[in-house]
Amino acid sequence: MKKQTVPAVLSGIFILMLASCGSNSKEQAAGAGAGPAQPPASYQVFTVTPKSATLNSDYPATLQGEQNIEIRPKVDGFVDKIYIDEGSVVKKGQLLFSISAPQYQQDLNNSAAAISSAQADVSAAQLAVNKTKPLVEKDIISHYELESAEYTLAARKAALKQAKATYNTAKVNLGYTNIVSPVNGVVGTIPYRTGSLVSSTNANPLTTISNISKVYAFFSLNEKQLLAFSRTVKGSTLNEKLKNTPPVTLILSDDSTYPEKGRVETISGLINTETGSASFRATFPNPVGLLRSGSSANVRIPSPVKEGILIPQRSAYELQGKHFVYVVDDKNAVKSAEIEIMDLTAGQFYVVTSGLKAGDKVVYDGSSALKDAAVIKPEPMATDKVYEGLNK
C-alpha cells in the first residue's frame, strides 16, 4: 500500500506545479499586452465669429471700344499712299490713305470747263435780253421776241446751276481719294497695301479705327444669377438697380486688376433662348489706352455680406457633394456637422447659410480622418489668425 501511495502523491504535486506555471504565463502575457493609455491628439480649434465681407462674382467678358469704325473707300482706285501704321494713335481729321483715281480729277476738270461754258451761255443770253428789251418798248419788234430771249436766259442759268452741281459732285468724289479719320482712336489691321485695287464693295475695310477713350465690357448672367442680382441690388425699377449697383472691377488676362473702376450701365431686356442668359454692359475709363478692343477679361461684381458666418475653406471637407465640418463639444469630443454654403466665396472663406452659429467651436483643419465622438486636445486659435486674409 505504501509503494502505491507515494507515486500518487508525486503525481498530484506535479499537476499542481503545471497549473501554477500556466497561471503565471497568462499573467505575464496579460501584463506584457497592457500599457499606459494614449493621450488625445491635438487639433487647432477656432470659435465661429460673425464677420462682414465682400463676395466677388467673376464673369468672362469681351472688351470693345466706345466706337469701332470701319474705314472703307467710297471711290474705286489704287492705294497710292498709307500715312499710318497698325496700332497707331490717330486724331479726328488725320489723313490715313490716299487713293489714286485720275478719273475723278478729270471729272473735276471737265466740270470746271462746263461751268465756264455755261457762264458764257448765260452772258450771251443776258446780252440778247438786254438788246431785245428796248426794241420791244419802242414796238420795233414783238413782245414775243423778248419772252423768247428771257426763256433762253433762264435755261442758260439753269444749265449753269447744273454745271456747278456737277462740279461740286466731282470735287466731293475727288475728296474721297484722301481718306481721313472720323474719330480719335487706334488703328487696327491694314489688309491692303500700296498698289492694291480697292473699292466700296471690298469684303474687308481698309482698316478699323477704335475709339478706346472708354471701353465696354460685355458679359452675361444666366437666369439664376440674374434673379440673385435683381434680389440683391436695391431699387424698384431697372434704372434704380443700375444706379445702386456697386462699382465693378476688371480682372485682366494676366490676373492683374485694372486700376480704374467701372459701372454696369445696361442690362438686356431679353434672355437669349439659346444660351439662357441676359447680356450686361459695363463701362470702364481708359485714359492711358491699356485696354484694347477684342481683348478678354473678367468683370468682378462685389456683393457685401454683413455679420455673416464665415469659415476658412480648409476647415470643411466634402463628401458626396455635401460639405461638413467637425464641431467640438464641451467634453472635447468632435462631431461632423453638415453645412450649407453660398455659391459665392469671400476669397478663401465659405459663407455658411445653415449648420453653424456664432460661438460654435470648429476644427481648423477639417480632416476627414477624424471620427465622430473622437476626443481631441483643442488648441484655441486667435480670431485674427483664423480670418487673416479675409477680403484681401
Q: What's the mean pLDDT in 201-225?
A: 91
Q: Check residue 391 and give its pLDDT.
A: 65
Regarding the domain with residue range 58-64+212-304, which homologous superfamily does it belong to in the CATH classification?
A: Efflux pump adaptor protein, beta barrel domain (2.40.30.170)
Where residue 231 falls among pLDDT bands split at 50, 70, 90? confident
Q: What's the mean pLDDT in 64-68?
A: 89
Per CATH, the architecture of 102-175 is what?
Orthogonal Bundle (1.10)
Per residue in 293-308, pLDDT (tens digit) is 889 999 998 888 888 9
> Distance (Å, rounded) from C-alpha 264 to C-alpha 286?
16
Where residue 330 falls among pLDDT bands split at 50, 70, 90? very high
Q: Check residue 260 and give its pLDDT.
A: 95
Q: Check residue 28 and give its pLDDT.
A: 47
| H helices present in 190-251, as ranges | 223-232, 238-244
In the CATH hierarchy, which fold is given to the domain comprising 44-53+305-386?
2.40.420
Per residue in 115-145, pLDDT (tens digit) is 999 999 999 989 888 888 888 777 777 788 8
Q: Check residue 36 and give its pLDDT.
A: 61
DSSP 327-343: EE-TTSBEEEEEEEEEE
Q: What's the mean pLDDT in 32-36?
A: 51
Looking at residue 271, the DSSP 8-state letter turns out to be -
Q: Given the C-alpha cell 466706345, which residue does it identify?
A: 66
Between 232 and 147, the more confident residue is 147
Between 48 and 37, the more confident residue is 48
Q: In the chain, which segments carry CATH 1.10.287?
A: 102-175
Q: Given the C-alpha cell 449648420, which residue does it identify?
A: 355
Q: In the chain, which segments carry CATH 2.40.30.170?
A: 58-64+212-304
pTM metric for this prediction: 0.61
Query: Which residues, 6+ apart, have CB-to-CB distance to 74 below 8 Å?
Result: 173, 176, 200
Q: Are 63 and 294 in contact (CB under 8 A)?
A: yes
User: Which of these ranges, 160-169, 325-334, 368-377, has the smallest mean pLDDT?
Assistant: 368-377
What's phi and psi for 176, nearest 5 deg? -70, -15
What's phi and psi for 304, nearest 5 deg? -75, 145
Please give the mean pLDDT across all residues of the chain: 86
Print the SS3 string covering 132-187.
Answer: HHHHHHCCCCCHHHHHHHHHHHHHHHHHHHHHHHHHHHHHHHHHCCEEECCCCEEE
Q: In the chain, which segments carry CATH 2.40.420.20?
A: 44-53+305-386
Per residue in 345-363, pLDDT (tens digit) is 787 899 999 999 999 999 9
> Is pLDDT at 320 greater than 60 in this prediction?
yes
